[in-house]
């Protein structure tokens, strides 16, 4: 009949103040775990940060990388590549 006297239903109700503290710790721990999991997943998928993303945001080295990629794919000749590279410098 003790369960009918206002227990919380989470299993910690009979522990009083200690149960409330334990419930708070478990809840905060689960929230932290969820946030860390989302951050880890975002970084694993390449959605957050990384050196390349920082370079793109800062605008450094990106034009040279594009130029090198175009030259490597054969889209531009050596003369064009060297001319454009000198323009970037």
Domain interval for residue 75: 49-89
Q: Tell whether 13 is covered by a domain.
A: no
**Count: domains in the chain:** 1
Q: Tell whether 84 is covered by a domain.
A: yes
Q: Tell whether 55 is covered by a domain.
A: yes
CA-CA distance, 72 to 81, in Å (whole number)?
Answer: 10
Examine the pLDDT at 37 and tell me if it is beyond 90.
yes
pLDDT in tens, 39-89: 888 888 876 555 555 555 555 568 888 899 899 999 999 999 999 989 888
Confidence at 33, pLDDT banded by 50, 70, 90: very high
Q: Tell whether 86 is covered by a domain.
A: yes
Q: Tell whether 64 is covered by a domain.
A: yes
pTM for the predicted model, two decimal places: 0.40
Q: Tell whether 24 is covered by a domain.
A: no
Q: Write the CB contacts of 73 (distance below 8 Å, at least 6 apart in sequence).
A: none
Which pLDDT value is given to residue 78? 93
């Amino acid at each position: 009949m003790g369960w009918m006297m206002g227990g919380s239903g989470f299993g910690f109700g009979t522990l009083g103040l200690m149960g409330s503290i334990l419930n708070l710790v478990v809840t905060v721990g689960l929230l932290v775990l969820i946030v860390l999991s989302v951050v880890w997943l975002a970084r694993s998928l390449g959605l957050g940060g990384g050196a390349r993303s920082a370079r793109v945001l800062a605008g450094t080295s990106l034009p040279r990388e594009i130029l090198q990629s175009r030259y490597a794919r054969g889209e531009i000749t050596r003369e064009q590549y060297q001319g454009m590279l000198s323009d970037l410098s």
